[in-house]
Amino acid sequence: MVRPPTYLRFLYPGVVWNKPTNEKILYLTFDDGPTPEVTSSVLDHLSLHNAKATFFCIGENVKKHPTLYNRIKTEGHAIGNHTNTHPNSWKVKYDFYLKDVEEARKVIDSNLFRPPYGKLTPRTLFALRKKFRIIMWDVISCDFDDKVSAEQVEQNVVDYATNGSIIVFHDSVKAAPRMLEVLPAILKHYTELGFSF
């Protein structure tokens, strides 16, 4: 499950899974923040490697931690909308979901959107595509899974990432023990191989 199953690409027309290129570029993304302590550590690591990332933020977290949100932007990273309360599009009503996204949009100024759990109903996808570029991923680190070791999280990335990959991490309390251990190693590994972020 490190790579999204192929059928999803057919279910979700018009969304971005990766950015195919001959250049050594990786796109790091961090979902579910901003989270005190965790997001600031991520920013410190990125800064040490001169790396830029995209943070798909939850509206409620932005409202709680505006200073941290501003730090992400000030340091030159990109921001994306990850809804206001992290609902699952397959489990809530269409109207509720779109309102939740709009609520997040009041505090997150971005035309990028990533759906929580990578799930969207066809109708919701169609509506959101008019307002956003929908960004999925081609490598998921599984840093959120506390049954997976940090070594395995690192291996998930190293085994699957390639030029132009979009890689998912989480700047959440749950993922932090694995993500914060793996991120410096990933940054070092790919910097030595000549990649930029």
Q: Considering beta carbons, is residue 87 or 116 the nearer one to Zn ion?
A: 116
Q: Which two tokens stand for residue 127?
A: 């509506």
Q: How many residues bind Zn ion (CB under 5 A)?
A: 3
Query: Is 170 among the residues known to form the active site?
Result: yes
Give the number of other Cβ atoms within 10 Å of residue 79's Cβ: 18
Does 143 help bind Zn ion (rule: CB under 5 A)? no
Least Å from the CB of residue 150 to Zn ion: 20
d(CA 193, CA 185): 12
Query: Is 138 among the residues known to form the active site?
Result: no
Does 32 help bind Zn ion (rule: CB under 5 A)? yes
Q: How many CA atoms lie within 13 A of 178 on its CB side?
A: 22
Instruction: Write the CB contacts of 174 (distance below 8 Å, at least 6 apart in sequence).
Output: 144, 146
Among 68, 116, 141, 182, binds Zn ion (CB under 5 A): 116
Least Å from the CB of residue 31 to Zn ion: 4
Cα distances from 109 to residues 52, 101, 127, 129, 187, in angstroms, run 18, 12, 18, 16, 28
Q: Which is the catalytic residue, given 45, 77, 82, 170?
A: 170
Does 171 help bind Zn ion (rule: CB under 5 A)? no
d(CA 98, CA 127): 8
Does 31 help bind Zn ion (rule: CB under 5 A)? yes
Judged by CB under 5 A, the stretch of 71-79, 113-121, 124-132, 151-159 that binds Zn ion is 113-121
Kindly list the catalytic residues. 31, 170
Interacting residues toward Zn ion by CB under 5 A: 31-32, 116
